[in-house]
Amino acid sequence: MKISDVRTICTAPEGIRLVVVKVETDEPGLYGLGCATFTQRPLAVVTAVEEYLKPFLVGRDPDDIEDVYQSAYVSSYWRGGPVLNNALGGVDMALWDIKGKRAGMPVYQLLGGKCRHAAALYAHATGRDISEVEDEARRYKEEGYRYVRCQISVPGYSTYGSTISPGPQPLGLGSDPWEPTPYCRLIPKLFERLRDSLGDEVELLHDVHERVPPIQAVGLASELEPYHLFFLEDPFAPEDAEYFRLLRQRTATPIAMGELFVNQAEYVPLIRERLIDFIRVHISDIGGLSMARKLAALCEFFGVRTAWHGPGDLSPVGHAANLQLDLACHNFGVQEQHVFDERTREVFPGCPEIRDGYMWPSDSPGLGVDIDDVLAAKYPFPEDPLNGGWPPVRRLDGTVIRP
């Protein structure tokens, strides 16, 4: 059996640019799907797949997943980066999908079988003030969620994770300015209230999103320690990773990191030195299931757990890939959720099922998710002046900062 074609499918049923790789074989009806979504630069990924990986892959044996990964990874000479990694990650997932279909098994069975029945999810609670966040977190708790990420608007500022909108929105943070100090003063007050009102039955999470100076992030993590967060995410940007040593000396607040890493080697020092507690790998951005599985195995020996990135700018195929690892990795921590709307579920039959705060697998072979090519074409990428890129986030004096 040989790979006969490799192509991309671009669709945006929720207004978010999704890129899916379809690897076809010369066996009629046998193909695999992978997620290669890099929402901010989707067409660059399409070019990488169709103009560079396709000629490299056509005629190869789809069973040779490891050799395909290793040889494709070095084929560009300059390695890594989000464009090339997402392209390769989509292909890698698709090859695992094919292998599972050939075996008649879900991919998690090929990875050693299930360690658990379902993957615990964390939901996203937000609000314009502390009371609104509390009400939303309480609602999730009553729906069966044991983990809730809590974000809050800082009045007058463009605050990450706090946008409240009635329907699907493309990525973008608006034009309001941002200042770190009001945010750092508000967040401890939020979690003091939440822990007092919600009790200890729910695990609370928060995402700093690399938006504050490192020393302020150290102080914030220390102030949050009395409220026993399940984890504090991305207190530093990847460029400031040296601060993790200082942070570890100052607080026992668990730390999640890595959503922005695009080279597997970036994780190694933080894992080896036990400076983080959860890896936030965006699986396509790190090169696919093969590499994510290896990172999870490394983490197991250092007491680090998985918390794969699972936002709306990850297709249902990508979420299904997350779930395969969630079920098979003993050191699973928690899974970020995105609830897909009806249009997306129609485009992607077999979306993982969510109920009672968990994501449940199907027994379908491979990743378990398909795509309706014709229906996907009805949702083209929306018009956008930046073609999906994030607009700049600026401080009051106009300085551009990390998003």
Q: What is the per-residue DSSP string for 258-281? A: -TT--SGGGHHHHHHTT--SEE--
Q: Is residue 197 part of a domain?
A: yes
Residue 356, pLDDT score: 94
List the CATH number of the domain containing 322: 3.20.20.120
Strand order in the sheet with 18-25: 3-11, 18-25, 31-35
Q: How many CB atoms lie within 10 A of CB 138?
A: 16
For residue 232, the cross-strand partners are 206, 255
Residue 165, pLDDT score: 42
The number of domains in the chain is 1
Q: Is residue 403 part of a domain?
A: no
Backbone angles phi, psi at 109, to 5 degrees: -70, -35
Domain that residue 287 falls in: 110-364
Look up tokens 């669709």; give the residue. 11
Residue 337, pLDDT score: 95
- Per-residue tokens: 7: 């192509």
Cα separation, 286 vs 271, in Å, equals 16
Cα separation, 145 vs 329, in Å, equals 21
Interior CA angle at 381 toward 378 and 385, to 5°?
150
240, with CB counted inside 10 A (0-12, 13-18, 19+), is middle
Residue 163, pLDDT score: 58
SS3 assignment, position 24: strand
Residues assigned a catalytic role: 160, 209
Residue 156, pLDDT score: 82
Residue 162, pLDDT score: 75
Question: pLDDT 10s per residue in the chain (403 long)?
Answer: 999 999 999 999 999 999 999 999 999 999 999 999 999 999 999 999 999 999 999 999 999 999 999 999 999 999 889 999 999 999 999 999 999 999 999 999 999 999 999 999 999 999 999 999 999 999 999 999 999 999 999 988 888 887 554 333 334 445 678 899 999 999 999 999 999 999 999 999 999 999 999 999 999 999 999 999 999 999 999 999 999 999 999 999 999 999 999 989 999 999 999 999 999 999 999 999 999 999 999 999 999 999 999 999 999 999 999 999 999 999 999 999 999 999 999 999 999 999 999 999 988 999 999 999 999 999 999 998 888 888 888 888 888 888 8
Cα torsion 313, 316, 317, 320 to 10°: value is 110
Cα separation, 5 vs 60, in Å, equals 10
Residue 166, pLDDT score: 38
Rounded to two decimals, the pTM is 0.94
Backbone angles phi, psi at 7, to 5 degrees: -145, 165
Residue 225, pLDDT score: 98
Q: How many CB atoms lie within 10 A of CB 112?
A: 12
Q: Is residue 313 part of a domain?
A: yes
Q: How many CB atoms lie within 10 A of CB 30?
A: 17
Q: Is residue 397 part of a domain?
A: no
**Pair type for strands 203-207 and 147-150:** parallel
List the one residue out of 240, 322, 258, 256 whose CA is nearest residue 289.
322
